[in-house]
Amino acid sequence: MKILLCPLSDGGYLYPAIAAGRELHRRGHQVSVLARSSAGPVVAEAGLPCAVAEDFGGHRAFSATWWGKSGAAQYRAVLRAGRATQADLLVTSVLCDGALLAAEALDIPVVVVGLSVHLWDYRSGGDGEPHLGRTRESRTHDSRALHAAVREEVGLAGRASRWEDDPLLGDALLLRGDPVLEHPGAELPERVRHVGPLDWEPAPGLGELEAIEDQLERAGTRTGAGKPIVYVHLGRFFGGRTLWPRLNEAFTGGPFQAVVEQGRSTEPAPAPEADILLVRKPWMGPLVDAADLVLSNGTSAPVLSALLRGRPLALSPNGSEQPLLTGACVRAGVAVRDPKTPSVDLSALLESVSRDEGLRTRARALGDRLAAVDGAARAADIVERVAQASATPKENHEYAISRPR
């Protein structure tokens, strides 16, 4: 089978798709990756061939920054690349309307790699779920409206979709978290499955980690050696408040030192006197290993990385899935939410997280559950079942999808 991976090229979306793609390649399938040129070295390290998105008219079409604005360009790029690679099936990211519509135009199945939690309406249940941000109903309505707008823009309006019940899920949507992160009593849509973290990332380059350790050691001679490390991973702000003023306050003369991944924060502002080392790396695992705890806006990649290593979390959410995942982690007892009020001192909050053995124990337990799941194998199983179902006469589709391997 020829499979085209066409996720967003940002690491939080690209790496999980690569994890599934590597397993599918190991099983003998022909797997290639459509990604922007800057992601080429990462795809090469994964051992998969890369189709450069810009060569197919996909400039900016696979950037999370441009999500919601480049659906038509993404559709055209995936359509062209799918034809060029003679793809039998697509694997894409959640929020990739263009790829979903290209699968329809190509008349091939598509599997969607989701986040740690389900973004949209449950099939049933979920009553009483608190909303730190937008409601599921609002998020679902707007996501479907955007999908319909892209559909019209690319000329597919009026054409029947085989996913009329929910076009956002494709033939299957794979969640990378754990059922405990969904609201108690809620039932996921039929095509949504948990597969675990799909944990893969590129390895640090020669000497990269040692250079960071040397910088921390040199900083320790100035600020006092032995301070525990907080790994800070900043996601998009979505118009919310930047954490930088509070980071500078918390890590100046306090009990911790910070390694801050710039991530998608476009205006890093570490104060000269703060115990902050700013990095921009395509990997985070070794830095989380060295940390006592993790502070994040609440995006899937750093949350899963922290849990897989048994690190408790302090979460300061803004938009997108950040409030939803934050609520799930607080409910699971593995995180504390930063209320972002002047009365709450961030340094004191981090100290309370660091000292909370119950929080740490629950984080280790959930991390052990996540680590025990062979997510790549589960994802590959589902991809193969979807492909089998698409090749099966309609009267046999239900059997092909649901029967055990």
pLDDT at 264: 67
pLDDT tens-digit series, residues 70-89:
999 999 999 999 999 999 99
Kind plus residue range of the DSSP H or E element containing 259: strand 257-261
60-64, 195-199, 261-265, 343-347: which has the highest mean pLDDT? Answer: 195-199
CB atoms within 10 A of CB 343: 5
Give CA–CA dist 379/260, Å, rounded: 31
CA angle 152, 56, 38 (to 5 degrees): 115
Amino acid at 405: R
Q: Residue 230 CB: number of other CB atoms within 10 A?
A: 29
φ/ψ region of 251 (left if φ > 0, alpha if ψ in -120 to 50, else beta) reads alpha
Look up residue 37 and give its amino acid: S
247 contacts 276 by C-beta, under 8 angstroms? yes
DSSP 8-state symbol, 348 = H
Provide the whole-model pTM.
0.93
Q: Helix (H, G, I), strand (E, B), or coil: what is residue 295?
A: strand
Mean pLDDT of 344-354: 95
State the helix-helix crossing angle for 357-371 and 300-308, rounded to 10 degrees: 100
CA nearest to 193, candidates 383, 40, 321, 395: 383
Cβ–Cβ under 8 Å, residues 234 and 260: yes
Tokens found for residue 297: 């806006």
What pLDDT sits at residue 225? 58
Kindly report, residue by residue over 265-317, the tens digit of the pLDDT.
667 889 999 999 999 999 999 999 999 999 999 999 999 999 999 999 999 99
Is residue 72 classed as helix, strand or coil in its secondary structure? helix
